[in-house]
Structure 1
Amino acid sequence: MIRLNIHYCYLLFILFINRISGQICENNIADFFYNVNFAGPFFDQTVYTILSNFSVSTPNNTQIFTFIVKPQTIYNRPSFIPITVNNRTLDMTSRNIIVTSSHPSFTVVNLTNDSYALVTNTFPLNYFSPYNRYLFQLIAKQIFSNRPPVTSIAQVQINLENDNVHDPIFISNNQTFYISETAQPGTQFGTVYAMDLDNDEILYSINCIQFCIESLTGVLRLEKPFDSSSQSEYFITVTATDNGSSCSSRPSCRKRTKSINIRIIVTTVNKNSPRFLNQLCGKNISFDENNTIGKEIVTLIVLDNDRGENGLIYISFPSEELRTTISGLRNTAYSQFYIEQLDQTNTTRTAILKTNEIFDYDKPGATRVWYLFILASDNGKPQRQTFCSLRINLHDVNDNAPVFIMTSWNYTIYRSSINITNIRFLRIIASDADSGLNGMINYYIGTVNVPYFSISRTTGTIKFRQNIFGLSYLNISRFPIIFYVYAQDRGTPPLISKNNATVTIYFNDNDEPPVARWLDTHYEELYISITEKFYEIYRNQPIFDYNYGFNGSIMYELTSQTSSIMTVSSPFLDNTNIPFRDIPVVKNGRIFTSGITVTR
């Protein structure tokens, strides 16, 4: 009942349209029913088949087959379509026909009039299409001027034959691999992967020297161990070659290859500490005084066989914390020197230890020995360090000539006190501000043919010659005897005093005693050795040296009531810097006692 109602309404609707539309709708009824597929252009075949295997390596624009498409006319229309409707002639004239392919790998080319050709539009064709074939449609559309276009369809089947048309493809083209420098031969560290769209198997190859590759899997392995001269990175050419199985049945089948460059980075391990070369550590290094600022003292060379940041060397003094001793005293010597680093060359770096000030060896209180630590560090993680200890010695240059503390010396020989067993009379004293051999002095009499007297070369003491045995050998009339003495140090080259000392010796032929005399002849020349600890233990006490037979007291006698004073002075120009002074004189009759004490 419901279905009848719907049908009835539908008929009413059509009739209603006809009534409203009038002649227009009536004239277009035939065209409406004519717009169906089987009313389109005519193909000369409904199915086109290429059964023989069509090679996938066929070039673009290759003609596969030709076909003909005819348009619909009044002579080949379907029998159910009338020529006229209500005395109106249908438009059955031939119009434009467009033939296309439903598959993008093929295209249709119009040859002449109704003749067409199917040609390839893709290279290479896809062998791995379903069932190894292409199945698609040719679509012909005929266009009219006053009615909708009409179409018709023909089926196409093309069976494919495989061929080796694709080069291997690497996944990806930019491949980077990493391997530790400590890796052992045989270590596998990565896989190179390639694919082949022809579904062929792939073989991998490289120039097998430092590295090799498994031909079937593309697995990379280390062939030789790394050494200190090895590179930090390598660029290796890897070649992938297919086996050509996709076209093995074809006599002209060839294998295809593809190559890429891969990057292999050798990751460093900080396994070596910097090492000082040229065997300087623990040695004594000397440089001359009176240097210029920036004077080169010693050249240090440090080696680190690690690569990259692990082998980057820094040479410096220790940090402020490391410069402080266990007792809390800070080593201030480092401020007097500096280190100049040169650019690193391969695995070695050179640094030069230089002076930061001018040094004078003979300056009172001057430091003459320094103990320095040089630190060599790398930039690895963890950081490695090496210390080098150096003893730096300031070398005394013979730059000071001897200077007499007096240029005029007088001495009187008393007949009453002369003793052949004591033939020393006067000691001439000169000083030399240098140290060591440079400050040691030899004395010489510069006057020719001086009678009776000679001088001790090392002490400067004036004494009788060896052939003078008593007063009977002296000609009193020749007195006073005057001669000059010069001093020469033992440095290299030796320096001679600029001003000579004049010595005048008188002879007192009376029985008068000498004005003063030492109670012990040792007092004339005291050689006393004291240690550094003497300053701490015996501060403000008289200096003594029991090994030398000296108890610390210096005693002399005056033969007259003349007052006496004893002073301690240095032969150096600046007496205020000597750490000694005289002890106040104690008088006991004609005997006077004094001594020398340490002040600091």
Structure 2
Amino acid sequence: MATREYTAFTAILRYFTVLCFCGNVLPQIRYSIAEESARGSVVGYIAKDLGLDVNKLKERRFRIVSGSKDGFLQINQDNGALFVSGNIDREELCEKSLLCAVNLKTVAENPSEIHYIEVEIVDINDNSPAFPVREKHLEIPENAVPQSTRLPLDAARDSDAGLNALHKYTLSPNNYFELDIKTREEDKIPFLILKKQLDREQTPTFNLTLTAFDGGKPERSGSVNITITVVDINDNAPLFDRQVYSVALEENVEIGSLVVKLHATDLDEGANGQVVYGFDKSLMRKEFEIFEINSNTGDIIVKGSIDFEEQRVYELDIQASDKGQVPLTGHCSIIISIKDLNDNTPEIDVTSLSTDIVEDSKPGTIISLISASDRDSGENGMVICSLTDDIPFELKPSFQKSMYSLITKDLLDRETISLYTITIMCKDRGEPSLSSQKTIQINIADVNDNSPVFTQNPFYFYISENNTPGTSIFSINAFDIDQNENAQISYHILKAEGHEANMVSYLNINLVDGNAYVYALKGFDFETTKMFQFHIVASDSGTPSLSNNVTVNVFIL
């Protein structure tokens, strides 16, 4: 196994696929590997763990058919190892998710097998906590109340996850301020708490350092310098009607729609009591792209498209500031729950095992593996698939939800239909229901199941005596409705007995332009022979060969 800062490959857990009523496909094998692992690093010996014969991997076309969209994982078909083929950046793949995994689907043929693999991307401590700015300037009135005065600070961001993410803050030693940390999901937002009454005339400014540490080993850190100016004005901060607003909003709501109307009051008068609203600067950029706030009215408005499948809950931190010389700020949170609509059509994935199927295939022969998914939730995401036409094929449901096998239902006959265009229709259970379809073509391959057929049986020919030896006296023709070599016909004359044997010995047959021409090697004598009979056999070139014969009656004139 390859290593970077620590061992890249940790533990391999092997699971068997089990029946799951939640609709998700459980992986048969789970691996893990550290991000930034060197190219060529082995994730695990996937063929061995699946019990596959390593010597037959190329013959069975063992491969990855979905997952690893950026192509950073590949299978070595010489030894069956799953290895790193590109750069793995966990932060780019999964941002700050605690669990970062890549789901792979592999297929082997002859016989057909499909397996599901999960590869966990393990975070390494390759990012330090960072603040939005290097310098932070704050102002605070000298009559601010100790323990009740909270000054919001910009939160540090760390792109790593888990223990390597932001862990704690420290504040440089001082007698007037202490830290309070608000935890929201994975974010830790620092606030300065005033713990002692200020005196601007005694200490007009404070210079503090806020340092953020992650939990890695060794730990990494980042800091911001905070300058606090003490003034003696405006001693009331705006106060919201509620600290937390909860709102439900449908996805795909029109741009410009009102989300919620906020209201905050300030007990001061004049400019010190005039309130303006804004988003807290600690919000992610995405929230700024989707919502906007009217600074004068406090109305939260939809600014961009809202998609339930991208994010189901938004939490916005709002601040209300007065217009005093040194503005004071109040805070509230808005929790916006997004309602799912049936706005996604089912997605159909077809894994074809073969584009040709022989016409003598038994009913139940598997042609393709079909899986369907829908990004919606609940009934909107439940998918049922069917075939649109009455054809000798059917979809057989798998024990895994929304997975099917396309199999033959009846016996096939290439001579009747040689090509089938199969349309697979998948519908969800939403109201109204959405659907999508996928079309595949199946060629019916020929088998040698038809014998040659002569254009008539028997044949009657009339020949004048004293014919010229070596010339053609008549021709016959047979046809075969099979294809290729199964339809290539050769001819020969059967041996006869008695008087006919003597006559047949002077006959020869040759194939010219698809017709069989019979030649006489001597002239006939009416006074000796007035009529004779023999048989010609037509055989195709199939394996095994099929044949038919015809009776030929020759009359000498």
TM-score, normalized by the shorter chain, greater than 0.5: no
Q: Which structure: greater strand fraction?
A: 2
TM-score (norm 2): 0.39
TM-score (norm 1): 0.37
Q: Which structure: greater helix fraction?
A: 1
